[in-house]
Amino acid sequence: MNTLDLKILERLDKADQEKITYFLKLLLNKSKYKKLREEISVRRVEIAKKKTLKHDEIWKELDV
């Protein structure tokens, strides 16, 4: 969403905002987003365990 969309969303009353939120949750839970949700979950675990690469480690891994 761009900033204009967000401004429009903010102008809606609470009930309509909740309806849009519900609809978005339904869309995001579709199977086509399953792989993305799984990857985000894995990345969150890696970050929590501090198992992420640092900038210089990425360059070393790429062997550049």
According to the model, what pLDDT value does residue 54 have? 82
Distance of CA 55 to the CA centre of its chain: 22
Indicate the pTM of the whole model.
0.43
Comparing 55 with 38, the larger pLDDT belongs to 38
Closest C-alpha to 54, from 46, 38, 23: 46
Residues 39, 27: Cα–Cα separation, whole Å: 17
The residue extents of the domains of the chain are 3-62
DSSP 31: G
